[in-house]
Amino acid sequence: MSWRKEVEELRRRSEMARQMGGPENVAFHRNLGKLNVRERIDALADPGSFEEIGVLSGHPEWDGNKLSKLTPTNAVTGVIKIGGRKAMVVGGDFTIRGGAGDASIPGKGIISTRMALTHRIPYVRLLDASGGSVKSLEKAERTGIPGGDRSIEAELLYHVPVVSAVMGTVAGLPAIQSVYCHFNVMVKGKGRVFVAGPPVLKAALGVEIHKDELGNEEVQVRKSGVIANLAENEHDAIDQIKRFLSYLPQSVWQMPPRVEPEDDVNRREDGLVDALLDNPRAIYDPYPILKMVLDRDSFFEIQPYFGQPRITGLARVNGYPVGVMMNNPMHKGGALDKDGGEKTARLLQLCDTFHLPLVYFVDEPGFMVGLEEEEKGILRAGARLGALTALSQTPYISFIIRQVYGVAGGLHYRGGTHMYRRYAWPSGHWGAMHIEGGVAAAYKREIESAPDPDAKRKEIEERLNEIRSPFRTAHAFGIEDIIDPRDTRPLLASFVEDAQEIIRTQLGPTSRIPYLP
C-alpha cells in the first residue's frame, strides 16, 4: 500500500496555507511597503532553517468531503536559526482579518511559548495584529469572560531572551505582548501600538483621534518609553533583533556568548586623558569615551530616545558581552530623571537575568530636581533602582570619570558579597551635595550677615573646593584607586575576564532580582 495520494494531499493543503490571505490581500499590503509574515521570517532566519509548526492550522471550507479552501490561522510560527543558534518565532499575518483575534487558533500561540520555555531557546514575536474582535461573538454564539493564562509568558522572561517587534498596527493583547519582553523595536512610520484603537476611543470617550497620534513612535518610543528602539524600516528592525540576541545566551543556563575579538585588549587611548575639560560644568559628548574603551563598533544602544540623561546598552569587551550605562551631560546635565531611572532598572534586570557583567561610567550630578520630576515619581524610580542594585548579583564595575553627588550618585556603588570593583579618574569629584548649592544652605547665616554676601559665598566655595581633590579621598582610602584614564580599557577587560568564572557559578534563573516588563 502506498501513501503517495495522502502525501500529495498534504502538499496541496500546505500550499493553500502558504497563500496566507490570498493574492489580493498580500498585494494590497505589499503596496503599503510592508513585507508579509513569511518574508519577515525569511529575513530573520538563517537561509533554509525555518521549521514551521502547524502549517495546516486554520479554517477549512468543504465541497462535500473534499477540502475546497483553507484559510490559515493568522499566525505563522516555528523554529529558526539566527546566526547558527535556534530560536522560536511567531509572526502575525495581517493579510488575514488584519491579524484580528477571531482568525486565530489559541493553541498555536501557547505551543510556541511552551516550546521556547522547554527547549530553552529565545522567543521572537513579529507583531502585526489588532487583537480581539466582536465578530468572534457570532462565531462562538456566546460571550466570554476576559482572562487568560499568562504564566508561561511571564515565566519565559526568567529563562530565555524574549524580543517583540512592532511591524504594523498592534492593539489589544498583542499590544501587551509588545512589552512582555526584554527588548522591543518599532518600525518608523509603519508601527503603531495602543491599548485600543480610535473606534473604541470614540465609543468610550467621545474622542476622535487618528491612530498615528495615538500610538506612533513619538508617543511610544520618545514619550512613554513603552518601545525601546526605533527602526528605519523592517529590515533594520530585523537587524536590531539579530544584534540584540547576539549578546545574550540561549537561556539563563548558558554562558553569554563570546566572539573572537578583533580589537587589542590592552589598547590605551590618549584621547581619554583629554576627554573631559578642567571646567567641572563643561558639557562633553560621552559617546567617544565609550568608543575608546569598548570593543570597536560593539556598542548597541537601547532606548536612545527615552530617559536621555542616562545612556544604556550592550557591548563587548575583549569579545565578552557586557551591559553598559553612562551619564549623558548633554541632557539635563546627566542627572538621573524618572525615565532614566526606569530604563537603567531594565538594563540591570537584563544583565542580572542573563549573567552579563555590568559597567557604569559615572558622571552623576544627582537626581533631577524640580516639580515636574516630583510629579512623575522620581523618588520611587530612585528607590527601585537602589533596591535592584543592592539585590543584583552580576559582576559590576564602576569608573568614576567626573562627578558623584547625593543619593543618586551613591547608586554607582554596590556593597554585599557579590563581585564589584571601582576606579576613579583624576577628574573625579564627589560629595553629599554640590559645593555650590550646599554652601548656600549650610552657611546661610554667615553669608547673609557678611558685608558682601556674594563675596563671602565665593570665599567659602573656594575654600571648600581646595579640599575636594580626589587625591585627598584616596589618601584616606575613600576611593580604592585613582587611575590614568588610558588604563580604563585594560582594567575593564581584566575585570570582565575574571567575571566569567563567577558567572559560571550563577547560571540558572536569578532568585534575588525580579524581572518585570
Domain spans of the chain?
4-246, 270-425+483-504
Q: What is the pTM of this model?
A: 0.90
- For 69, phi then psi, to 5°, come to -155, 145
Residue range 246-256: mean pLDDT, rounded: 97
Residue range 95-117: mean pLDDT, rounded: 73
Q: Which of helix, strand or coil describes residue 200? A: helix
Cα 268 from Cα 487, distance rounded (Å)? 6
Q: Over pLDDT 90: what percentage of the chain? A: 53
Secondary-structure breakdown of the chain: helix, strand, coil percentages, each rounded to the nearest 5: 40, 20, 40
Q: What is the pLDDT of residues 347-397, one digit of tens each?
A: 999 999 999 999 999 999 988 888 999 988 999 999 999 999 999 999 999
305: left (phi over 0), alpha (psi -120 to 50) or beta: alpha
Domains 4-246 and 270-425+483-504 share a fold: yes
Handedness of CA 300, 302, 305, 306 (dihedral sign): negative
| Cα end-to-end distance, the chain, whole Å | 55
Question: Strand 75-82 relative to strand 85-92: parallel, antiparallel, unpaired?
Answer: antiparallel
Q: How deeply is 401 buried, as exposed, middle or buried, from its count of CB atoms within 10 A (0-12, 13-18, 19+)?
A: buried
Maximum distance among all Cα pairs of the chain, rounded to whole angstroms:
112
Q: Rounded mean pLDDT of the chain?
A: 87
Question: Strand 358-364 relative to strand 320-327: parallel, antiparallel, unpaired?
Answer: parallel
Write down the CATH number for the domain with range 270-425+483-504.
3.90.226.10
Cα 363 from Cα 334, distance rounded (Å)? 7
416: left (phi over 0), alpha (psi -120 to 50) or beta: left
Q: What is the pLDDT of residues 470-495, one digit of tens each?
A: 888 888 888 999 999 999 999 999 99
Cα 217 from Cα 192, distance rounded (Å)? 7
Distances (CA, A) of 93 to 41, 98, 135, 315, 382: 11, 7, 18, 33, 41
Cell numbers 575576564 label which residue? 497
Cα 135 from Cα 321, distance rounded (Å)? 48
Cell digits of residue 70: 483553507
- Taking 80 as the threshold, does the pLDDT of residue 215 lie above it? yes
Pseudo-torsion of CA 381, 412, 226, 31, nearest 10°? 170
Cα 111 from Cα 53, distance rounded (Å)? 9
Please report the pLDDT score of residue 134 as a whole number: 45
- Taking 60 as the threshold, does the pLDDT of residue 138 lie above it? no
Handedness of CA 98, 104, 110, 111 (dihedral sign): negative
Rg (CA), the chain: 27
Cα 493 from Cα 317, distance rounded (Å)? 6
Cβ–Cβ < 8 Å for 159, 252: yes
Please report the pLDDT score of residue 285 as a whole number: 94
CA angle, residues 136, 142, 145, in degrees to nearest 5 = 85
Cα 197 from Cα 201, distance rounded (Å)? 6
Q: Which of helix, strand or coil describes residue 482? A: strand
Q: How many CB atoms lie within 10 A of CB 61?
A: 9
Cβ–Cβ < 8 Å for 61, 35: no
Nearest residue to 44 (alpha-carbon basis) of 257, 237, 195, 271 = 237
Cα 89 from Cα 109, distance rounded (Å)? 10
Handedness of CA 345, 347, 352, 357 (dihedral sign): negative
Cβ–Cβ < 8 Å for 121, 88: yes
pLDDT band at 137 (very low <50, low <70, confident <90, very high): very low
Q: How many CB atoms lie within 10 A of CB 476?
A: 7
Cα 350 from Cα 249, distance rounded (Å)? 12
State which fold the 4-246 domain adopts.
Answer: 2-enoyl-CoA Hydratase; Chain A, domain 1 (3.90.226)
CA angle, residues 446, 449, 450, in degrees to nearest 5 = 85
Cell digits of residue 407: 543619593
Residue range 7-34: mean pLDDT, rounded: 78
- Element of type H or E holding 397: strand 396-405
Helices (H), 106-169: 106-119, 135-140, 151-156
Please report the pLDDT score of residue 434 as a whole number: 64
Cβ–Cβ < 8 Å for 190, 234: yes
Q: What is the pLDDT of residues 453-470, one digit of tens each?
A: 777 777 666 676 667 778
Nearest residue to 337 (alpha-carbon basis) of 304, 300, 297, 380 = 380
Residue range 32-53: mean pLDDT, rounded: 92
Cβ–Cβ < 8 Å for 284, 329: yes
Nearest residue to 310 (alpha-carbon basis) of 368, 239, 395 = 368
Cβ–Cβ < 8 Å for 71, 100: no
Question: Strand 123-127 relative to strand 51-53: parallel, antiparallel, unpaired?
Answer: unpaired
Q: What is the pLDDT of residues 277-324, one digit of tens each?
A: 777 778 999 999 999 999 999 999 999 999 999 999 999 999 999 999
